Amino acid sequence: MTQASYKYIGNVLDRNTRGWLPVVDEHSNKFYLPLLTKVEKLENANLFVMEGIHKGKTIAVDHKRIKPNIYSSYLFNSFTYAEGANLKLILKTSILQFPTQEEKVMCEGILPGVYKILLPDRPHEKKMQEDYYDESNSSGSRFCTTWFPIDTPQHNQYLHMGEYSTGCVTVLDNWQRIYLSLIHSRELESVIGTLTVVEE
Amino acid sequence: MWELNWPDEYFKVEDKESIFISQTFHSLLPNIIDVVNNFWTSLFTVLAIFIYRKMDRRLNIEIKIDNVIKNSNLGLSHELLQLIEEKSKDQNANEILVKAICIAENIERPAWFRKFEYFSSLIAKHGSYGIMQTQTDKPIDDKASINIAIEKYFKNTKYASKEEIEIAIRKYNNSDHYFRFIQEIITFILPQELHGYNYLRES
């Protein structure tokens, strides 16, 4: 019996890939995996997705959709995740508290409770304005298309950056730092951490 | 001797016409001073356009670095990327810095230009060669230029501070424009927040 060879999606921090690795599955379906997704390397150079919404799929890196190539490989051989992120949202003040910082957010439609923050599902490009990508100011980020799903009963609620909220928790500033701290955290497979929502 | 026995009037008329034609023709032709003046004006115009286009290109590089990197056929083959990564690991060099230099040199001296340099080495051997534009006494290929550049300029820069990185870049090419260009490419590859950290790297 051979030991499983786990790898991690890496080297997609540049402004071209923006935290997403283009992949293709055995049925030629094209999609993306977020940075640091755990995968298992199969014998034929294919990968088996271990977490996220594409868990259980056999995929290959779609090199044609990565231009320019800056790395010879887009996999880390090993990676040590940080502990699961614990976030607290105070609805009355619209403050989202992180262990070391707090951010002003917009939040409408989210109810008090304890929710899981999940691994990002797909790049959310449609609602992105050009200035969201502009890193010359602290509110812009190359990772603005990464939205973290919040596992609420309503579904379709995310933690993301932006300027308006339609039922999500919308961060107004410092998304780059928030993204980097969340993406390398794991509470469990597919789970980034916990969001506790309180009235005040 | 053979003589023309044509009426005088005819010649008089002909003279007037030829004078008129001659004057018209001369007025159409520029004199030598005009030719020289126009030559210099044209030369300055061509020079001005050349400088403008050159500056415009540099301006574009500064402003639209993402497009320049994306659209340029980088010529960084899988083999060369692998060599940079392995050599950087071996020499404890900052891989991102080496790649940024490589991308910059490749944009400024694309493959066709390097081929030209290689052939010009038949006349003068000393020059800058390969994808890293390494100064050598004989022509070298892309792989050799990567090996030499890493050993000579970027050894032990893996955990270098921002100041040490700047020294390494300026040692390679001591111009403000070049330094800013490299910084831009590094930031394209890696977010500003991760510069100088071995963060989110393979553990």
Residue B66: CB atoms within 10 A of its CB come to 15
| B165-187: pLDDT as tens digits | 999 999 999 999 999 999 999 99
pLDDT for res A116:
97
> Across the A/B interface, how many CB contacts are shorter than 8 Å?
63
pLDDT > 90: percent of chain B: 33
Q: How far does the CA of residue A73 sit from the closest CA of chain B (Å)?
A: 8
Q: How far does the CA of residue B55 sit from the closest CA of chain A (Å)?
A: 23
Residue in chain B lying closest to A178 (CA) = B193
pLDDT for res B43:
83
pLDDT > 70: percent of chain B: 73
Q: How far does the CA of residue B30 sit from the closest CA of chain A (Å)?
A: 55
Identify how many contiguous H helices and E strands chain B contains and give both numbers. 9, 2
Identify how many contiguous H helices and E strands chain A contains and give both numbers. 1, 17
pLDDT for res A1:
47
Query: When comparing pLDDT for B136 and B12, which is higher?
Result: B136
The stretch B129-150 carries a mean pLDDT of 89
Whether the CB of B189 is below 8 Å from some CB of chain A: the reply is yes
> Do the Cβ atoms of B193 and A142 come within 8 Å?
no
> Do the Cβ atoms of A180 and B200 come within 8 Å?
yes
What are the two backbone dihedrals, phi and then psi, of residue A8, each rounded to the nearest 5 degrees? -135, 135
Whether the CB of B26 is below 8 Å from some CB of chain A: the reply is no
Query: Please, which pLDDT band fits residue B56 given cuts at 50, 70 and 90?
Result: low
Lowest-pLDDT choice from A37-46, B12-21, B103-112 = B12-21
Whether the CB of B18 is below 8 Å from some CB of chain A: the reply is no
The stretch A146-156 carries a mean pLDDT of 92
Which chain B residues touch A183 with a CB distance below 8 Å?
A: 200
Q: How far does the CA of residue B34 sit from the closest CA of chain A (Å)?
A: 53
Query: When comparing pLDDT for B73 and A92, which is higher?
Result: A92
> Do the Cβ atoms of B81 and A180 come within 8 Å?
no
The stretch A23-40 carries a mean pLDDT of 96
The region, left, alpha or beta by phi > 0 then psi within -120 to 50, assigned to residue B16 is alpha
Residue B145 has pLDDT above 70, yes or no: yes
- Six-digit token pair at B4? 């023309």
Torsion of CA B116, B118, B119, B120, to 10 degrees: 80
Cα separation, A48 vs A38, in Å, equals 9
Query: What is the identity of the amino acid at A78?
Result: S
Q: How far does the CA of residue B99 sit from the closest CA of chain A (Å)?
A: 8
The stretch B65-93 carries a mean pLDDT of 84
Q: Best mutation site among A72, A101, A174 for testing chain B: the one with the most B CBs within 10 Å?
A: A72
Query: When comparing pLDDT for A198 and B106, which is higher?
Result: A198
The stretch A34-56 carries a mean pLDDT of 94
Whether the CB of A16 is below 8 Å from some CB of chain B: the reply is yes
Burial of A23 (0-12, 13-18, 19+ CB in 10 A): buried
- Six-digit token pair at B162? 């921002």
Residue B13 has pLDDT above 60, yes or no: no
The stretch A65-91 carries a mean pLDDT of 91
Residue B9 has pLDDT above 80, yes or no: no
Cα separation, A69 vs A62, in Å, equals 11
Interhelix angle B95-108/B176-189, nearest 10 degrees: 120
Cα separation, B141 vs B79, in Å, equals 13
> Do the Cβ atoms of B74 and A80 come within 8 Å?
no
Domains and CATH numbers, chain A: 6-76 (no CATH), 82-198 (2.40.440.10)
Whether the CB of B194 is below 8 Å from some CB of chain A: the reply is yes
Pick B81's closest partner by Cβ from A15, A69, A77: A69
> Do the Cβ atoms of B70 and A77 come within 8 Å?
no
Whether the CB of A65 is below 8 Å from some CB of chain B: the reply is no
Residue in chain B lying closest to A140 (CA) = B191
Whether the CB of B30 is below 8 Å from some CB of chain A: the reply is no
Query: Please, which pLDDT band fits residue B162 given cuts at 50, 70 and 90?
Result: confident
> Do the Cβ atoms of A135 and B81 come within 8 Å?
no
Tokens 């917009």 label which residue?
A106
| 8 A C-beta contact, residue A105 and residue A96 | yes
The stretch B120-129 carries a mean pLDDT of 75
pLDDT for res B139:
85
Mean pLDDT (chain A, rounded): 92
pLDDT for res B202:
57
pLDDT for res A111:
93
Q: How far does the CA of residue B178 sit from the closest CA of chain A (Å)?
A: 20
Residue A87 has pLDDT above 50, yes or no: yes
| 8 A C-beta contact, residue B94 and residue B189 | no
Query: Please, which pLDDT band fits residue B120 given cuts at 50, 70 and 90?
Result: confident
Residue B75 has pLDDT above 80, yes or no: no
